[in-house]
Structure 1
């Protein structure tokens, strides 16, 4: 995909970034909690609102609503964890299985700038994945209007623990669980998967005897680094940015939080294979190339496919829904092979 040069206001010399990162390492070892005040739920990002915006430049697109594959069963509104009095729910889409068969599973994470969106946006993708032989789970998580970072990360790790705790009921192979996310969900998927075993993001009593580790990551237009020359996150010049709201502090005041939430920070030998699917909006994959270089040097498989003509919410729309599905399935079959 053609790369756009970073603007002079975003670019920083490599030495500056290296100094900043290593200066922050002691802070990254500490569990961070941002100040936050609850606000009403933000419902501004929906498949319909994204469609209305995107069709101005792409008049032939349509919202993807393919027929549900035969044999797929839905188990909806299941509570996977209750932090405080909050009941967090998920939906499971399960294909028809043979007796004692165990299938790979995928946790799908919606986008919306960490403050909007909901799990229903990826029900079509979950249904199609189930039709291809995966147990697909769409989970809600606490948005920034309800709880600041790192609550969302902790919630999603709890969802993976729930999947393992209930594996026998839904025919899940606990050794083959992937995380898939779009936009903010892609950032969260990459962070969840790259912090396997990291106690910083484990919280609450829900199914703590089970692992929250993921064996593969699919990042669909989610950034990998917040403080990075390619990143457009944190521009508060006109209003408080979505990332600033999620962290509860801007990147100048609390750069440790912004670095701590970047999957690139944790790229290493324990990172699972990762697939990047990207639109033509370059800032939505900030840090991707750096992460790929680091993982490739360690012998960890990475793959990237780009749709240069596509708008940011491309996985919600035809004609990009089906290739997104196909790339996802091909990748997962490659890195989570049948046993």
Structure 2
């Protein structure tokens, strides 16, 4: 006990001499930043099993960094101090740096390690990066600000009110990103063996990324069957080949109905995954679809299919890809380069035929086009079936309209192509007749 100016004071403890700052409170900013870091870590962690099947080194790198960040989040929430906040901010910065190195800079050259996370939504890795940015700046702000041992009730309530929408956004995007990234964990793995034992096969491997195809054989097929290539919709940024799960939310039931009707009519169906934008820029989706047609042609005997009777159909931008298969030139040879890649019939449902004219588009549609294709006029023209409408196109069904679909149909008719217009209920009958 010491006497200073007539006042008795207690000596400082060893701890308080060096750290007079009280522990941080679990306020709105700390909780929001911590949950953002948690979501940013869980998204790549959910894709680690799929990444492991491609290359274990990348899987261990992503898995280890995600595990360290999860531990850091637990530490900062359990023991909220400036030290733990700085540690969590450091892990968020490291995860963000890994994303920058692997995606914008493309320095991990073996293949893009984020592709397994982008099989349902092509921007899943961007969601993870955005969460890491929120976590980094939030945790740095928490670590730098002065702690308030007893902040007023008004201060605490105001902070929660201001940050509550951000917290909800963080929770929603983190959960959706983790579900999308983990979709590849379940289901049958694609096989490279075409022995009839597996209905899921790997049809192409662009840039080291294996792409899967589900082959549904007709119920009765004594002879090689015609086959329809099914292309899912989703604006080129969402969806996958599966009839159920998060990738089938847009057109899964419609695909199932057409698939069952075709197989009952003696026509096989091949449903594929293709690389999604913005993770894989145009023309990756079309190059993958063309590679799928060449795969079906080259492996028709092993798959018990007729290579001379291949059709294509899709909903939305899946229909746009189907139209491009019938009219557009080959975008890169890739695998099976010497094999023909044309289709005999096309059915497009609600498929936009032109992306060059934004007149009258609502902001959401405009934003989705820019996200998928960018702003370059050459790319927008290259992705528009209207650009290639002319002689040589196969018989085409244009169902339920679509942007500039009437213009596309008129140009095909002027070029002497057989065009049918109608509704989605006519898809099965049209394809069965066209592939006889």
Aligned to 2:56: none
Question: In the alignment, is the contact (CA less than 8 A) between 1:230 and 1:286 conserved in 2?
Answer: no
* Residue 288 of structure 1 pairs with residue 405 of structure 2: yes
Aligned to 1:190: 323
Q: Distance in 2 between matches of 1:239 and 1:161?
A: 32
Give the superposition deviation at 1:43: 4.7
Aligned to 2:276: 143
User: Which of 22, 37, 41 is matched with 2:118 structurally?
Assistant: 41
Question: In the alignment, is the contact (CA less than 8 A) between 1:41 and 1:146 conserved in 2?
Answer: yes
* Residue 128 of structure 1 pairs with residue 257 of structure 2: no
Superposed counterparts of 1:1-339, under 5 Å: 37=104, 41=118, 43=120, 75-99=198-222, 101-120=223-242, 121=252, 122-195=255-328, 198-199=329-330, 201-204=331-334, 206-228=335-357, 232=361, 241-247=367-373, 249-250=374-375, 254-278=376-400, 285-306=402-423, 324=424, 326-337=425-436
Change (3 A) 1:186 1:114: same
Larger RCO: 1 or 2 (CA < 8 Å, sep 6+): 1
Q: Distance in 2 between matches of 1:158 and 1:44?
A: 21
- Structure with greater Cα Rg: 2
Q: Distance in 2 between matches of 1:238 and 1:289?
A: 23
Q: After superposition, what is the alpha-carbon deviation per residue over 1:49-88, rounded to whole angstroms, capped at 9, x for unaligned?
A: xxxxxxxxxxxxxxxxxxxxxxxx9943310011122110
Runs of at least 5 residues in structure 1 that lack an aligned partner in the other structure: 1-35, 46-72, 307-323
Instruction: Report the structure, 1 or 2, having the larger strand content.
Output: 1
Q: Distance in 1 between matches of 2:230 and 2:341?
A: 14
Question: In the alignment, is the contact (CA less than 8 A) between 1:106 and 1:180 conserved in 2?
Answer: yes
Q: After superposition, what is the alpha-carbon deviation per residue over 1:279-323, rounded to whole angstroms, capped at 9, x for unaligned?
A: xxx6xx1121112112212221111114xxxxxxxxxxxxxxxxx
Partner of 1:227: helix, strand, or coil?
Answer: coil
TM-score (norm 1): 0.64
Partner of 2:199: helix, strand, or coil?
Answer: strand
Question: In the alignment, is the contact (CA less than 8 A) between 2:351 and 2:405 conserved in 1?
Answer: no
Give the superposition deviation at 1:240: 7.4
Q: Distance in 1 between matches of 2:395 and 2:207?
A: 34
Change (3 A) 1:210 1:43: closer
Question: In the alignment, is the contact (CA less than 8 A) between 1:78 and 1:91 conserved in 2?
Answer: yes
Change (3 A) 1:328 1:152: same
Change (3 A) 1:75 1:295: same
Instruction: Report the structure, 1 or 2, having the larger helix content.
Output: 2
TM-score (norm 2): 0.51
Change (3 A) 1:222 1:290: same
Moved over 6 A (4+): none
Question: In the alignment, is the contact (CA less than 8 A) between 1:231 and 1:286 conserved in 2?
Answer: no
Give the superposition deviation at 1:230: 6.7
Alpha-carbon RMSD across the aligned residues, in angstroms, is 2.7
Q: Distance in 2 between matches of 1:138 and 1:266?
A: 25
Give the superposition deviation at 1:229: 6.8
Question: In the alignment, is the contact (CA less than 8 A) between 2:297 and 2:339 conserved in 1?
Answer: yes
Partner of 2:398: helix, strand, or coil?
Answer: strand
Q: After superposition, what is the alpha-carbon deviation per residue over 1:84-134, rounded to whole angstroms, capped at 9, x for unaligned?
A: 2211000000024454x1222100000111111111133453233112110
